[in-house]
A and B are shown apart, each in its own frame.
Chain A
Amino acid sequence: MQIEKMLSEHKLLKEFKYDLKPIEKGYSNRTLYINLSDNTIESKPVTQFMKDKFVGGKGFGLYKLWNAVKPDTKWDDPENEIIMAPGPVCGITQYPGSGKTLVVSISPLTDQVIDSNVGGYVGPFIKFSGWDAVEIQGKAERDVIVIIDGNDGTVRIEEAPLEAIDGHVLGEQLTEMYAKDEDDRRNIAVVTAGTAAENTLIGLLNFTFFDTRRKKARLKQAGRGGIGTVFRNKNVKGVVVRFAGTNGNMNNVDDISPINAAGIRIHKQIDKLDDQQCRMRQIGTANIVEVMDAYDLLPTHNYQYGSHKDTVKINSHTFIKNYLKQNTPDGCWYGCSLSCAKAADDFVLESGPYKGDKVLVDGPEYETAAGCGSNIGLFDAHAILELNFYCDTYGIDTISFGTLTAFLMECYERGIINKEITGGLELTFGNKWAAYDLIHQMSRGEGFGKIAGQGIKRMKVLFAEQYGADINFLNDIGMEQKGLEYSEYMSKESLAQQGGYGLTNKGPQHDEAWLIFMDMVNNQIPTFEDKAEALHYFPMFRTWFGLCGFCKLPWNDTTPESNATADEPAKMPEHVQNYINIFNGVTGLNIDGTELIRQSERVYNFQRIFNIRLGKGLRVHDATPYRSAGPVTKEEYLSREERYDGQLVELIGLDPTSMSLEEKIAETRKYRENQYEMLTDAVYKRRGWTMNGVPTIEKLKDLGIDLPELLEVVKKHL
């Protein structure tokens, strides 16, 4: 369809003009508020209080959301918001991974707050257009797009009936529609969801960046938690941001010298060492597929096993050799020399509405190769890329899709569900056509796909109620917690990672802590106190990135030479210093490593209390499915019999030779579940929370966030 035809059917609902002002030391000092129910568009100030307590990014998002919703607000109430907030550092160009944005909303999957970190050009362009956050509240009557033009100083809401909904089509359409000419396309960034986001709870947001070599819009994702579902529920098709004139100091930083120095230092490091380290420029995050398999940590067949003989068919070398041929690394924001974004060009789809098309597939990320690969028994590189493509364009999360499909396949193979229930889909491990059917059904909103798209938490209830399934067994093997599907790491043998998944704010997403190697392989955190310290430091450190607009990958997917002699190499001290120098260089503040953690702690505790206010956020919600902690079934126990028998002897003091298999499984389970409880105690104590997981008044006072509205919530539980 012609762009002109689509444009001709647009109906302008509201236009808002604003003054363009330069950014001051990383802050535009105002946020944009849009209400789609009544087409209000307003500018709101960023206060010093906000900057002091919440810094930016996720902090601003959470603060705005808290003030927008009530304790009983549901994800599909009009007052739920989607907030996109870049952070004060976002948009610098000298340091890799400095263009990230945090998106915040109430999640359809978890009914509590979800936050999601995403790349692409949208965030920086929002900032350059003059906004420290964009709030979208309300619901439009008919499908609309929002257009922010940061050179003209306008925000428009327009009805857009003819444009596509699927991400890869709409991204191109809107890029072409709003670019002034061909060269201007790199100044357009687009937010889309997709058709499956409308029919499932696992919808995501795509954020584009224009690839000037391939002349195509590329897609990065705010993947977790179903924010794309909220987006479509509000009848938003897309958000377009246009900004021309990006240069090396859009943020008008306080002192560019440390920023330049840090950038050049790490560019040199990546050039020299990436080839021998993670090979991010060659393959991106999928470099760890073969590593995880070698250490028996690759989630296989719904997290039952940790490796498989066919992993070679989906390892990084296979993808590079057969699909990722362009040999040109891509960063998702300027200045990213780590350039982890990969693409398969001219990929011919073999299923679905775009069958036969030659498309560009953005990926695969490790999560997709594992989630839509080994975890569902699909050791087929083409199939992984096909699912990757359709998840992106349909606007659904590859992690949730992979993990829930893995759950369904195990249920199917165990006879918990059958062909009648699935409407003919033979959901056995490795059956790619069944996986394809499932995803296309999600797009069309019909069939078993529609049920699957509700997520594991709701499916467990459904299977127990309607098909007489054993809810206890489903709770053991259904890898979700708080309603969010687990991401693709085996925490079974790492107590620290069980905590890294289970004791998070949003649900089992590994952005807070990834401790598997530190724990299991390096054995660097042997005691409960060591683990609790790690589960304090790393979540606080890692979530700081979301306050600023940083990407985590350049922190520890490239290793400086100084690490060889560093005291705590897992913390990457040289890089931590880079980040402190950059933050201070941008803002003119003078934080150190201690204040960095406190900045994060304020927002982290705020988020915990936000969840408590929504009726979640307590110890009971931090319980985990047993599959995440130990062998549920006989096959699982026997697959690691030597290790588990050894642990019965060394850790529990029992004699496996005198025990039946059932007894061994039961004793192992009792021990491990108790370990998790003890870990929870230690972590809550370290974080300054009660044994019910509630931040104490003392802790809030210490952080300077003993605000009346927060005390009101915690006091009910103290």
Chain B
Amino acid sequence: MKVLKVAIEKCISCGACEEKCSTLYKKENSKDKSCIHINPRNGGRLINVCNQCGRCIDVCQTQALKRDASGIVRIDPKRCVGCLICVGFCPTYSMRQHDDYLVPFKCISCGQCVKVCEQGALVL
């Protein structure tokens, strides 16, 4: 399973990954709508993104969350009822939610952010 991994020491907080992700999936350049978050911390940063641990699958009441053939955790928007339990119970706070959408969203290891990271801080 290809999970997005970060070499945080190479990140310069340029935001290119956030811009790529949100523009691609939500048609908008907005950090709030990106699946990967670069969060400033003490002059540096923390990088928050789903590690496909699958805890959300366990807590979803409608079985809207499942692993696909590659083992990546995916949301089925037709089964999701927007309860946001997965958002609250994610152990890494990586399940994203935005008021513009009823269904949460998360990193699916598509690799598009890897391509735009000029520092090589992201790898699949």
Contacts and interface: CB of A to CB of B under 8 A. Distances in A.
B65 to A, nearest CB: 13
A264 interface: yes
Contacts of A213: 63
A264 B84 CA distance: 6
Contact of A334 (B83, B99, B102): B83
Contacts of B80: 247-248
Nearest to A261: B99
A337 interface: yes
Interface stretch (B14-22, B38-46, B85-93): B85-93
A93 B63 contact: no
Contacts of B53: none
B116 interface: no
A238 interface: no
B8 interface: no
Contact of B81 (A266, A270, A334): A334
Contacts, number: 63
A270 B83 CA distance: 14
Contact of B102 (A248, A263, A337): A248
A246 B87 contact: no
A267 B88 contact: yes
B82 A267 contact: no
Interface in A262-291: 263-268, 270-271
B84 A260 contact: yes
B103 A334 contact: no
A260 B81 contact: no
Contact of A335 (B81, B99, B102, B103): B81
Contacts of A249: 82, 102
Interface in A243-264: 246-249, 256-257, 260, 263-264
A120 interface: no
Given A249-B102, A260-B97, A212 B62 contact: yes
A264 B88 contact: yes
A271 B62 CA distance: 18
Interface string B14-38: 0000000000000000000000000
A123 interface: no
A247 B102 contact: yes
B61 interface: yes
A186 B61 CA distance: 11
Residue of A93, A213, A268, A335 most packed against chain B (CB within 10 A): A93
Interface in A304-349: 331, 334-335, 337
Interface string B73-84: 000000011111
Contacts of B87: 264, 267
Nearest to B59: A337
Contacts of B85: 267, 335, 337
A93 B81 contact: yes
Interface in B46-72: 59, 61-63
Nearest to A209: B61
A186 B62 CA distance: 9
A94 interface: yes
A248 B62 contact: no
A26 to B, nearest CB: 16
A212 B60 CA distance: 11
A94 B103 CA distance: 11
B88 A246 contact: no
A263 B84 contact: yes
Contacts of A335: 61, 81, 83-85
A337 B88 contact: yes
A405 B82 CA distance: 44
Interface string A74-100: 000000000000000000011000000
A213 B61 CA distance: 9
B112 to A, nearest CB: 27
A270 B99 contact: no
A271 B80 CA distance: 20
A271 B99 contact: no
A190 B24 CA distance: 43
A209 to B, nearest CB: 10
A277 to B, nearest CB: 16
B93 to A, nearest CB: 8
Nearest to A248: B82
B29 to A, nearest CB: 21
Contacts of A248: 80-84, 102-103
A271 B81 contact: no
Nearest to A270: B88
A264 B81 contact: no
A440 B110 CA distance: 61
Contacts of B59: 337
A247 B82 CA distance: 6
Contacts of A267: 84-85, 87-89
B84 A334 contact: no
Contacts of B103: 248
A178 to B, nearest CB: 20
A331 B99 CA distance: 24
B99 A94 contact: no
Interface in A537-595: none
Contacts of A256: 99
28 contacts: A93-B83, A93-B84, A186-B62, A212-B62, A213-B63, A246-B81, A247-B102, A248-B80, A248-B82, A248-B84, A256-B99, A260-B97, A263-B83, A263-B84, A265-B88, A267-B84, A267-B87, A267-B89, A268-B88, A270-B88, A271-B89, A334-B61, A334-B62, A334-B81, A334-B83, A335-B83, A335-B85, A337-B88
Interface of B: 59, 61-63, 80-85, 87-89, 97, 99, 102-103
Interface of A: 93-94, 186, 212-213, 246-249, 256-257, 260, 263-268, 270-271, 331, 334-335, 337
Shortest 9 CB-CB distances between A and B: which pairs? A248-B82, A267-B88, A335-B83, A248-B102, A93-B83, A334-B81, A268-B88, A257-B99, A271-B89
Given A264-B88, A337-B89, 7 more contacts: A94-B84, A249-B102, A264-B87, A268-B88, A335-B81, A335-B84, A337-B85
